[in-house]
Structure 1
Amino acid sequence: MKTRKQNDQSNYSALFEHILLLENNARKEKRKSPTIAEISAITGDSEEHILECMELGKPNDFNILH
């Protein structure tokens, strides 16, 4: 069970890094950050999956307190 959780985390992390790359590229080109819908179209993932990755794909160093 732990292996599946680690695999899911790895998938979230990989997409999260892709999202960060898209945002950094937009920033360098002095454009607005892409919307969730635009990121979804670029990556081919659902908007829901994009949002999950943005929440769960952060490395453990970025623990957020609620």
Structure 2
Amino acid sequence: MRVVADLDRCCGTGQCVMNAPEVFDQNEEDGTVVVLREVPDPDQEEAVHRAVRHCPTEALAIAGS
């Protein structure tokens, strides 16, 4: 599993950070997503899937399995 973020689509709602704070943060200047762990630990995968599902602009994706 690898996390991919499209910064052009991100509008900074913070759903990713709320769902997986160990994997995502927000840029202090514009609020866009910052991926802290491109390859999350296995115990973080469920939270990452939840963050991807809840992203209102579909700026997050999961590559690989």
TM-score scaled to structure 1, two decimals? Answer: 0.29
Larger CA Rg, structure 1 vs 2: 1
More helix by share: 1
More strand by share: 2
